[in-house]
Amino acid sequence: MLKLNPYRFSATELQKMLWLKELFENNGFCIERFPEVYYDTYDNITKVFKLKNVGNHVFDEIHEFYEPEYLGFYIPEYSKINCKDDCNNKIVNEGVIVLFEDRIRNTAISISSQLAIGVQTAEDSLRYLVLCHELGHWLTHWPLDSDGLRWDCGYYFDDVTGKADKITHEALAQIITYWCADGRPLEEKIFREYLTPINPNSEYYKYLALIGISKSEVLNRLKLVRSSMGCDALLNDESAYELLKAADFVSEIQEWAKTQSIRKLDLRLDRLKALDRKTVDRFILYRFGKKIEYDYILCMLAKEGFLANKRTHEILKFDSRFCITK
Ligand SMILES: [Zn+2]
Ligand SMILES: [Zn+2]
């Protein structure tokens, strides 16, 4: 059987990987080890891993130049094991990262002539970025979070529609790559000019909307998205991305309640701001999770004591500690 060459990390890459480990761990994730990484030709890799046919899913997309997946791949293991919560989804296990040596080399050659830099320099920078992008997928998928959860249910494919949740996954992998490029001028340039398509509809472009959000906030939202795209499928690809890029949740919730909710609720901003993270997370989920009517959820929260005004409760059937009735 054909054996792929294992990849040997450079000191720079190792350093950045430890930086990523620390960043994720500071935000409640647990990283005990990194995934396997292989570095071989596209032909050899596709012989070993049938990239066109993973689990029950067929990748019908051909990756283009300017997309990180043209140069490498995170290949999760699509198992036949049912989710332990009996939700009909199959568990997706930890995968491996592959880097396409020949494609990285050839792309680096054209970058080196365009930027007038050495081929080796271009190649090292490009490979670094592709590695960071694929590590981004792995980090999003596998490390346990503070609730002891990973994205093993509902990872990457929507099991009901069979559609890949590409916007969410590529936005996350790209924003993690952006963090790794940040402060390294050549990597910043190559990432922006060669791994970010110009087309705003491209999934690989959408991370740009996440740049202004702090790393901690992105990672908090990642936890929420992970736990809401599996068993209960509260979020879909589009709404998960909306959630990831929302500017300020509390104001967003207030605005939505005022203008979009059926009862045009006027929520008190100061009270909303005093809510704990877990409660805010629930509001956020119900706000972005299109399957549930948000007013109904406000009523449910009221029942659980999150909202507590008797008078409004009579009118709206929920307690409105956070509502101003006019
Ligand atoms: Zn990707
Ligand atoms: Zn499940």
Q: What is the pLDDT of residue 308?
A: 40
Q: Determine the 3-state secondary structure of 92 from DSSP.
A: strand
Global confidence as pTM: 0.86
Spell out which residues have Cβ within 5 A of ligand 2, the ion.
Answer: 83, 85, 87, 89, 153, 230-231
CA of 177 to the centre of ligand 1 (A): 10
CA of 137 to the centre of ligand 1 (A): 7
Count Cβ atoms within 10 A of the Cβ of residue 94 and give its class: 0-12 exposed, 13-18 middle, 19 or more buried.
Answer: middle
Give me the residues of the chain with pLDDT under 50, please: 56-60, 306-313, 315, 317-326
**Which ligand places an atom closest to the C-alpha of 160?**
2
Residues 6+ apart with CB under 8 A from 214: none
CA of 195 to the centre of ligand 1 (A): 11
Spell out which residues have Cβ within 5 A of ligand 1, the ion.
Answer: 170, 173
Domain ranges of the chain: 11-241, 250-316
Q: What is the pLDDT of residue 51?
A: 64
Q: What is the pLDDT of residue 217?
A: 93
Number of H helices, E strands in the chain: 13, 5
Q: What is the pLDDT of residue 54?
A: 53
Whole-number Å distance between alpha carbons of 107 and 99? 13
Beta strands in the chain (DSSP E): 37-40, 53-54, 57-58, 72-82, 90-100
